[in-house]
Amino acid sequence: MSTLPEFDFALGEAADMIRDTTARFSADKIAPIAAKIDAEDWFPVELWPQMGALGLHGITVSEEDGGLGLGYLEHVIAMEEVSRASASLGLSYGAHSNLCVNQLRRWGNAEQKAKYLPGLISGEQVGSLAMSEAGAGSDVVSMKLKASAVDGGYRLNGTKFWITNAAYASTLIVYAKTGEGSGGITAFIIEKGMPGFSIGQKISKMGMRGSPTAELVFNDCFVPEENIMGPLNGGVGVLMSGLDYERAVLAAGPLGIMQACLDVVLPYVRERKQFGSPIGSFQMVQAKVADMYVALNSTRAYVYAVARACDAGKTTRFDAAGAILLASENAVKCSLEAIQALGGAGYTTDWPVERFLRDAKLYDIGAGTNEIRRFLIARELIGAR
């Protein structure tokens, strides 16, 4: 149940339905195990089919292909509500449903969709996307994973790093070099169990624990030609075309964290007493609560507007970057304020607000750092003048 008065963003019946469904599931199934997920760095993969039964994995996939046939706005709402219960599970959900499923929906051919989407949408399988390498993050064109043409397909050699869901994924979209420069990258669909493909080191993180991150290793991994997704040597186009949607959907993760902060802070400041009065009666505490609420709803307005623009085919690259820039920084600020509002209790692991801060920080970095986002926004704006 929400601790806040509800502001009506007039998102529509479908979005309201998705919010209600996801919020109920998240409160019943995810929130009770959120602390365990973090403490044990545990990915509860058994929840995936349950989320699939609710349609959450295929929100943007057409009904013809087994999805709900809805839009990015509804996807944002689901991402927000899952992240409210567990930001790390929300991150894995976004990587699965958007980075993998949505890209397959957009770029896969009929045979690829028929082969891979059913298991991913049902939650029987986990999906992932692999772009980054140890030496190639924001500078994606500098990737080293090499795909060499052989009879009937390609042999991949090299590694990928920082890959969400890697150890659990059955289907992965992997970008590799098939030529030189930006015109020599191709997207491949990789299946778990392909000879020569293995999972390397597990990466331990300060936050988003329970969202598994690992290295991918390719050692003469043969990938058949029919597993090319999109045009040969057109991988940069595939990647960049999905980045705006990725940023829009992932921006909802920080929204969930901000809401979770208020879910903890509001009851606490009403009940905790100092000097004979609830601390919520003190003006400095009231200011923190007001700032957190304004940060949440102003960010919601931007993120929801960008999601609607995505659905209308009118999004801009700099607004997609701006939405996650604003969301990530406000989530970190809200998490810090939540810790401060709880005082000494907030600094302990007995309360979840320290986890909210550790989780929120990822969004300053993932899907392009905030420095890259600022650079992109400024370049687009200045170049348009």
Q: Which residues are catalytic?
A: 246
> What are 151's two structure tokens?
């009879």
| Residue 268 near residue 341 (C-beta atoms within 8 A) | yes
Helix (H) or strand (E) holding 10: none
∠ Cα 66 43 260 (to 5°) = 90
Q: What are the phi and psi torsion angles at 234 (to 5°)?
A: -110, 20
| Residue 357 near residue 86 (C-beta atoms within 8 A) | no
Helix (H) or strand (E) holding 158: strand 153-164
Pairwise CA distance, residues 117 & 120, whole Å: 5
Pairwise CA distance, residues 166 & 151, whole Å: 28
Pairwise CA distance, residues 243 & 17, whole Å: 27
| Residue 326 near residue 302 (C-beta atoms within 8 A) | yes
Number of Cβ within a 10 Å radius of residue 267: 12
Task: Return the residue matching tokens 């919010």.
Answer: 19
> What are 46's two structure tokens?
């058994």
DSSP assignment of 316-368 equals: -HHHHHHHHHHHHHHHHHHHHHHHHHHGGGGGSTTSTHHHHHHHHHHTTTTTS
